[in-house]
Chains A and B, each alone.
Chain A
Amino acid sequence: MTSVNLLGVAEHPVLGESPYRDDRDGVPYVPVGDGGVVLGLQLGDSVFGLRADHAAPGVCLIHPDQAARHALTAFACIGNTVRVRSGAADGAVGKVVGKRGEEGRVIVALPEDRLGQVRPGDQMLVRAVGQGLRPPQLPRDVMVLNLDPAVLADLPVDMAGDSGIAVGVRAVLPGKVAGNGIGRPSVSWDLDLQIGQEPPAAELRTAVPVLGDLIAVTDIDARYNMGYRRGWITVGVLVHGGSPLPGHGPGLTPILTGPASRIGAEPDPAGHVGLTLESLQLQ
């Protein structure tokens, strides 16, 4: 695998001339937590725990040059090591926990005591490795993406079984809840899940999704652009919290996609353990 050092800069949130966005009932709100450095939210917390918009657990990294920002987002993978190299948190070590689309953002978790020292503009070095990963036993029509090779062993993914790949997930959701991110490249966008409705989707009545959970979405092919393909399944990691915006919601960074005949997603609403601070050795 090829490793590259990428430069990310801790983002400052940006707003247009109006501070407001409109929620799905037409009520204006101020989008707190949408990018930048978000405190008090980490892997394991509910995706609906904060009154916030797309809040991610930790620091969002960008690059001031848009083309470099796209490259940063496309090459960074979940589990990549990140080292702070300027500011009060200089020397702190964190991990990539996910990515976001549009202009592109890389989400980095840091130990809570170091996260509070991060200032927008601080530089971080991302040791990017993972795109192109193909475990030897992977069937030809299944793709692994956005994953550091070192992290795969710590996730509830079993590729050794005779009956295909078995993946433990919090829930299996229908493809029709897939929102923003459909039609966009799966290495550089997340897939927002429109699951903030009341009542919740039937699949979530007994499951409270938390950041880091693995979630499966049926009938979505995420090998290249993400889109509808009957009989397929895509598994991803929940990387940011909910959003009041219509068409948006908790975001999924895809890690595994292929025919449902090859990937068995096993929902465990109460006991599922996905990507955690422990598995990333941040706690």
Chain B
Amino acid sequence: MKLEVSPAPLVRQVLTGEVWPALADRHVYRVDPDGHPFVLPGMGGVTLGVHCGDPATGHASDHLEPGASIRHRDPGANMALQYLTCVGNKVQIAAGPAAGAVGHVIGQHAYVLADFPEPVLQQLAPGDPVTVFATGQGLALPAHPRIVIKNCDPDLLAAMPGGTGPDGRLEVHVAATVPAEAIGAGAGMVSEYANTDLMGAYQGLGADLSLGLEGLRIGDIVCLSDSDHRFGRGYRSGYLTVGVISTGQCMLFGHGPGPSTLMSGPADAFHILDDADANLASWLHPWPDEIR
């Protein structure tokens, strides 16, 4: 988007974290929509083989987090890491066999989620330290004062198609539009942390569970209808929210592929355009040669 952004220059803050292990408890099982127990991988640690542009659903997985899942060991520093990190921020592996490799933040999910080229992920292990170059919070669009931008690296915003249309509205390209009925776990939470699970995308389960969202891909830019995420996340008719699908397949009922919030405001401040290529893979991939 070719847009004038806030005249106040953004700062870039150097944050640290580490690849955080997958977590479980001794009760093992969770419950799917039909009441069946399951145990499936995907959340935490390093999840291989799924990247931006790949199908979000259809994997034998729960709360699929593509790539590396990152936290900070200190609880306060972790909240700073989770709140200040933005989609599109650069992440660099700080030590270990993959030291120096660079990836991008694709979202938040109570972990910072970073996608790396597959050969890099193959070498990553829980405990490997990472450096996050955090920038984006505070980004504002003077020409669109009713729209709140959050969790969005300014370089990502610049790379996205769209911009101010002839009628003054903000044109945003999205791969899918999501009905309000799909909003699952995450409603009521702050929009700088974790993401909004979408129901209605349980591949392979009953038609009565479907809201037609089984085609979502990791990295898709989506429009959430009747959602106001300016100061938290809630249902509000006449508002909409634009997010990026940062997590995939869920079997836990009430959960599903989740968008991290990028922008939100009154629906009439936006001009939403359907575009199957509206995916992070179009702008953050293919990986530049220097990071392969």
CB nearest neighbor in B for A219 = B181
Find out whether the CB atom of B232 lies under 8 angstroms from the CB atom of A245.
yes
B209 part of interface (Cβ distance < 8 Å): yes
Assembly CA distance A194 to B188 (angstroms): 10
B163 part of interface (Cβ distance < 8 Å): no
Find out whether the CB atom of A229 lies under 8 angstroms from the CB atom of B209.
yes
**0 or 1 for each of A21-40: is its CB under 8 Å from B? (1 = yes):** 01111100000000000000
Find out whether the CB atom of B234 lies under 8 angstroms from the CB atom of A179.
yes
Stretch at the interface among A90-98, A157-165, A180-188, A207-215: A180-188
Assembly CA distance A176 to B178 (angstroms): 12
Known: A177-B235, A197-B236. A245 touches B188 (CB 8 A): yes
Find out whether the CB atom of B253 lies under 8 angstroms from the CB atom of A227.
yes
Assembly CA distance A192 to B237 (angstroms): 17
Among candidates B188, B208, B253, residue contacting A225 with C-beta atoms closer than 8 Å: B253
Residues of B within 8 A of A219 (CB): 181
- A–B complex contacts, Cβ < 8 Å, 17 sampled: A26-B230, A178-B187, A182-B187, A182-B254, A183-B185, A183-B253, A183-B254, A184-B185, A223-B35, A224-B253, A225-B31, A225-B254, A228-B181, A228-B209, A230-B208, A230-B209, A245-B234
Residues of A within 8 A of B252 (CB): 183, 225
Residues of B within 8 A of A142 (CB): none
Among candidates B184, B186, B226, residue contacting A228 with C-beta atoms closer than 8 Å: B184
Most A CB within 10 A of own CB, among B211, B229, B232, B237: B232
Assembly CA distance A229 to B186 (angstroms): 18
Find out whether the CB atom of A247 lies under 8 angstroms from the CB atom of B233.
yes
Assembly CA distance A227 to B184 (angstroms): 7
Residues of B within 8 A of A25 (CB): 231
CB nearest neighbor in B for A179 = B187
Find out whether the CB atom of B235 lies under 8 angstroms from the CB atom of A179.
yes
- How many residues of chain A get a CB closer than 8 Å to chain B's CBs? 34
A13 part of interface (Cβ distance < 8 Å): no
Assembly CA distance A216 to B57 (angstroms): 31
Assembly CA distance A221 to B181 (angstroms): 13
A87 part of interface (Cβ distance < 8 Å): no
CB nearest neighbor in B for A180 = B188
Known: A26-B231, A182-B185, A183-B252. 6 other contacts (CB 8 A): A24-B232, A174-B181, A228-B182, A229-B208, A245-B234, A246-B236
Residues of B within 8 A of A226 (CB): 253-254
Q: How far is the CB of A265 from chain B (nearest CB, A)?
A: 18
Assembly CA distance A184 to B184 (angstroms): 9
A175 part of interface (Cβ distance < 8 Å): yes
List B residues 76-94 near A (Cβ within 8 Å): none
Interface residues of chain A, those whose CB is within 8 Å of chain B, are 22-26, 174-180, 182-184, 192, 194, 197, 219, 221, 223-232, 245-248
CB nearest neighbor in A for B30 = A225
**0 or 1 for each of B216-253: is its CB under 8 Å from A? (1 = yes):** 00000000001011111111110000000000000011
Find out whether the CB atom of B231 lies under 8 angstroms from the CB atom of A228.
no
Q: How far is the CB of B209 from chain A (nearest CB, A)?
A: 6
B255 part of interface (Cβ distance < 8 Å): yes
Find out whether the CB atom of A248 lies under 8 angstroms from the CB atom of B33.
no
Find out whether the CB atom of B33 lies under 8 angstroms from the CB atom of A227.
yes
Q: How far is the CB of B148 from chain A (nearest CB, A)?
A: 8
Residues of B within 8 A of A176 (CB): 179-181, 183, 226, 235
Q: How far is the CB of B56 from chain A (nearest CB, A)?
A: 17
Q: How far is the CB of A218 from chain B (nearest CB, A)?
A: 10
Assembly CA distance A23 to B190 (angstroms): 11
Find out whether the CB atom of A179 lies under 8 angstroms from the CB atom of B184.
no
Q: How far is the CB of A64 from chain B (nearest CB, A)?
A: 20
Residues of A within 8 A of B33 (CB): 221, 225, 227, 229
Q: How far is the CB of B196 from chain A (nearest CB, A)?
A: 9
Assembly CA distance A230 to B181 (angstroms): 10
CB nearest neighbor in A for B255 = A183
CB nearest neighbor in A for B148 = A26
CB nearest neighbor in B for A227 = B254
Q: How far is the CB of A95 from chain B (nearest CB, A)?
A: 28
Find out whether the CB atom of B199 lies under 8 angstroms from the CB atom of A227.
yes
Q: How far is the CB of B47 from chain A (nearest CB, A)?
A: 21
Known: A176-B181, A183-B255. A247 touches B200 (CB 8 A): no
Residues of B within 8 A of A26 (CB): 230-231
Assembly CA distance A7 to B253 (angstroms): 31
Find out whether the CB atom of A175 lies under 8 angstroms from the CB atom of B231.
no
Q: How far is the CB of A25 from chain B (nearest CB, A)?
A: 7
Find out whether the CB atom of B188 lies under 8 angstroms from the CB atom of A23.
no
CB nearest neighbor in A for B210 = A230
Assembly CA distance A25 to B181 (angstroms): 22
Find out whether the CB atom of A247 lies under 8 angstroms from the CB atom of B188.
yes
Assembly CA distance A221 to B189 (angstroms): 22
Assembly CA distance A183 to B32 (angstroms): 11
Find out whether the CB atom of B200 lies under 8 angstroms from the CB atom of A246.
no
Find out whether the CB atom of B253 lies under 8 angstroms from the CB atom of A22.
no
Assembly CA distance A221 to B200 (angstroms): 13
B197 part of interface (Cβ distance < 8 Å): yes
Residues of A within 8 A of B200 (CB): 228
Find out whether the CB atom of A247 lies under 8 angstroms from the CB atom of B235.
yes
Known: A225-B31, A228-B211, A229-B33. A247 touches B254 (CB 8 A): no
Assembly CA distance A35 to B170 (angstroms): 42
